[in-house]
Structure 1
């Protein structure tokens, strides 16, 4: 990832990139098992200095790519257990995991591992879908269920859960209202149209404070005009600049883990979806605790 060194474990690292090449939890178009390798490939031109925020993460953090979780590609439930155990080992080193997905099922076992270290955490979840289904086609483990399962496992602080970008058709109002009924803050995509999300993120930072927080970014939160390479596309989504505002707006929070999920290379003929995913993962790295920032002057249109 980003031409970084590789090593077999997270020992000695402040942060690490991890791939979870999985799509056995998908319900529509498959292909996310190929996401980590494509994101890594499209990350090769990323440079070490963030020209917008002044962040130079490699000056402050030891970072490496520790490869992929060895999931069982034939058994989703076994894979969930494998992922949780893998992240137990990563978190025991003190490293902050940055995950390349893979379908969104993976966030549930990661949050279970994080709970053992940090207790229930705040959550910033960017997605077209709420992913709080009780079941999908009779299955309770799938990419539409991770946050329902995480809530059941007491992984989340209800008053500090934020879902941004939800949209599209549904089966009933409960598709989005289930979280609201538990005190979660749901910002539908329509509320983001034609707006900067800088004020929203300022409010979220104020509400989260220094509580440990997990950031989960499903690439289908973006409008398919920006990121068509995903399994369950919905029109009317966020723009790339709004995505940057969200992730950059997490700087200053006590981030304990991040993921970027649902990139499906078979539907990403130009590579742009994976490229955007790689850039968002770099922005997540730049937002981690301990990353210093230099003063940057952004020239506006009036000079």
Structure 2
């Protein structure tokens, strides 16, 4: 490799001139942008923006998900050398993808956070790009959903999770990562009759009309059958996919705030996500990656792979 070529492969998060294409920078060095995409706030000419929300002040148990976006970015540097396996296209080659950086907010003014996040997501959608988000605790999905619903109308939700997050909470001022989908249903942001929760294994008697495919049902069915059941509920409606990393069993993702045994394997989750190809996905997120509780980095690696699968799902119906 010529000296200039070598220089061009350094810190491509800042220096890459082409918005499309795989990246071959050393995985162990350089600026750790998501999948080695360029950092930019100007989304002119970009199809999709990846952004981080380092917020974990809504947790009911262990904090640490504020470090999730940084860890997922670092783990993602292992992936942009090759197209994703099982998909017959390369989203990094076919779509212009940017790393939009993180949502900024004042950590000491928690009540202002939801508005700050809604405005952050609006700033992406108003530029005409799609948006994928790295959390952060799961509360972040609510302001993100609100911003998407402003553009697309009420959404169908596909939620991978150990917890339903629909526990009753009519106080809109409360910021809680276990009640935000209750609020999303009650405020008309999501349509419960066309929404699905996958991997649930904690008790909440009132599903608010959301279809539940609990963890045992996933274990007893083939991944393709689970995906078919999800598609039967969601149909061709605009949908948002949210993946709480605690959907995975702690054996595969120990680095999360509220781990629950009996969850999905990474292989099950990968197969289900791939078999969802064709859904009309308008946005998505991966949340609750908490690096302090996983010294191996496996949870962040899982989060980065989920993020790539979300990119593939988003891109599948938009291919030229």
TM-score strictly above 0.5: yes
CA distance in 1, matches of 2:186, 2:171: 19
Return the offset for 1:269.
Answer: 0.6
Segment of structure 1 superposing worse, 104-113 or 191-200: 191-200
Equivalent in 185, 191, 208 of residue 234 of structure 2:
208
8 Å Cα contact 2:121/2:144 also seen in 1: yes
CA distance in 2, matches of 1:129, 1:202: 22
SS in 1 for 2:194: strand
Task: Determine if the alignment matches structure 1 residue 36 to structure 2 residue 47.
Answer: no
1 or 2, which has the higher strand percentage?
1
Equivalent in 239, 243, 246 of residue 272 of structure 2:
246
Alignment of 1:96-135 (within 5 A): 96-135=130-169
Q: How many residues align?
A: 285
Return the offset for 1:136.
Answer: 11
Task: Determine if the alignment matches structure 1 residue 60 to structure 2 residue 69.
Answer: no
Return the offset for 1:139.
Answer: 7.1
Task: Determine if the alignment matches structure 1 residue 27 to structure 2 residue 64.
Answer: no
Equivalent in 61, 65, 69 of residue 103 of structure 2:
69
Aligned to 1:149: 183
8 Å Cα contact 1:126/1:218 also seen in 2: yes
SS in 2 for 1:82: helix
CA distance in 1, matches of 2:233, 2:187: 23
Task: Determine if the alignment matches structure 1 residue 2 to structure 2 residue 35.
Answer: yes
CA distance in 2, matches of 1:96, 1:65: 12
CA distance in 2, matches of 1:160, 1:76: 32
Aligned to 1:178: 206
8 Å Cα contact 1:122/1:208 also seen in 2: yes
Segment of structure 1 superposing worse, 194-203 or 158-167: 194-203
CA distance in 1, matches of 2:149, 2:273: 22
**Higher RCO, 1 or 2 (CA under 8 Å, sep at least 6)?**
1
8 Å Cα contact 2:130/2:283 also seen in 1: yes
Counterparts in 2 of 1:136 and 1:156: CA distance versus 1, 3 Å = closer
8 Å Cα contact 1:123/1:162 also seen in 2: yes
Aligned to 1:300: none
Task: Determine if the alignment matches structure 1 residue 287 to structure 2 residue 313.
Answer: yes
8 Å Cα contact 2:91/2:315 also seen in 1: no
Please, which runs of 5 or more residues in structure 1 have no aligned partner? 294-303
Aligned to 1:226: 252
CA distance in 2, matches of 1:61, 1:253: 18
Equivalent in 2, 5, 13 of residue 46 of structure 2:
13
Return the offset for 1:162.
Answer: 0.1
CA distance in 2, matches of 1:79, 1:139: 11
Aligned to 2:28: none
Aligned to 1:161: 195
Counterparts in 2 of 1:139 and 1:225: CA distance versus 1, 3 Å = farther
Counterparts in 2 of 1:69 and 1:9: CA distance versus 1, 3 Å = farther
Q: Alignment RMSD, CA only?
A: 2.0
Instruction: Please give the per-residue CA displacement for 1:46-82, whole angstroms capped at 9, x wherever unaligned.
Output: 0340221222002321101010000222233211110
TM-score (norm 1): 0.89
Counterparts in 2 of 1:253 and 1:45: CA distance versus 1, 3 Å = same
CA distance in 1, matches of 2:172, 2:181: 17
SS in 1 for 2:35: coil
Task: Determine if the alignment matches structure 1 residue 85 to structure 2 residue 111.
Answer: no
Counterparts in 2 of 1:109 and 1:137: CA distance versus 1, 3 Å = closer
Please, which runs of 5 or more residues in structure 2 have no aligned partner? 1-33
